Structure 1
């Protein structure tokens, strides 16, 4: 188990490094693909499943997706310097947990991310950005973390779909 954990950590670092070295066009393409994949998850969940919790201790399906959107706005706002159209509010706490409202907010977060990336230059990806008082990294690395975050939370919702008897969308690697 220790070897598997170490391998996963090493793969995560390798993927982050590789993502940070991609061209702007490649990064935009990856975010467009992620948007399409996330939309497939949102569409697959029946409307009555948006308030489903896998266990009492975890977020609902809607909260998971809104958390993903919150982070897209937060990370890409930090990277690009652009303000989220929702301001500094928490989507998890302000957006109704229904299929239409959640889908709209999540798709807007991807549009915001893609637009922010398209508005940057390749050189800006090498600039340093701060996250909190003690954490600094290049914007390209922060962008890789943002991509990893949305992938992680979309993946978490697979179990919610299964609990509703829905087969999750097929993998969309390309």
Structure 2
């Protein structure tokens, strides 16, 4: 039973390494982010309106909060990596309208912010150094790879929310 979590962790780790190494061009990175956006939209569409407020346990985020957390990170990491100013802050904390329509709109706008920021970058800029959140030194490409990992992690957690709502999660979109 412990083998499955270990293999899952190993696959994710190797995927992140491959993602960081494979991103030799911003064009490739944009394609991956567009795929991630489409996949996340499938999650947003699959969850019924009533499921947006659901929590697996009382101390966990609701589905809507999970998606807003993912989006807050998309804005924060991408702003640091691309140099673009984030138009929003603390969506998870400040969003009062947690309807399916509004959460979907907010999440997709967050993906668009990442994608549009990357489109403005040159491949050479991916190797430039940045201080993420004022504490962590890394290349802009690594910062974007960590962001990709973060959104994947939280979308993966959303699978449990869908299953608890009686919904079959969307089919994996690796390609």
Change (3 A) 1:67 1:124: same
Match of 1:99 in 2: 100
| Structure 1 unpaired stretches of 5+ | none
Q: What RMSD in Å do the two structures reach over aligned CA positions? A: 1.8
CA contact (8 A) 2:132 2:143 kept: no
CA–CA separation in structure 1 for the residues paired with 2:44 and 2:4: 35
Tell me which residue corresponds to 2:75.
Answer: 73
CA distance in 1, matches of 2:50, 2:12: 35
Aligned to 2:47: 45
* 1:15-54 alignment, distance < 5 Å: 15-21=15-21, 22=23, 23-54=25-56
Q: How far apart are the structure 2 equivalents of 1:100 and 1:34?
A: 19
Whole-angstrom distance in 2 between the partners of 1:48 and 1:133: 38
Task: Mark the runs of 5 or more structure 2 residues left unpaired by the alignment.
Answer: none
Match of 1:125 in 2: 126
Calculate the TM-score normalised by the size of structure 2: 0.90
After superposition, the Cα gap between the structure-2 partners of 1:144 and 1:101, relative to the gap in structure 1 and judged at 3 Å, is: same
TM-superposed deviation, 1:13: 4.5
Q: Is the 8 Å Cα contact of residues 16 and 141 (structure 1) preserved in structure 2?
A: no
Q: Is the 8 A contact 2:68 2:107 kept in 1?
A: yes
1:131: Cα distance to partner?
A: 2.0
Contact 2:80 2:133 in 1 (8 A): no
Counterparts of 2:174 and 2:112 in 1: how far apart (Å)?
Answer: 20
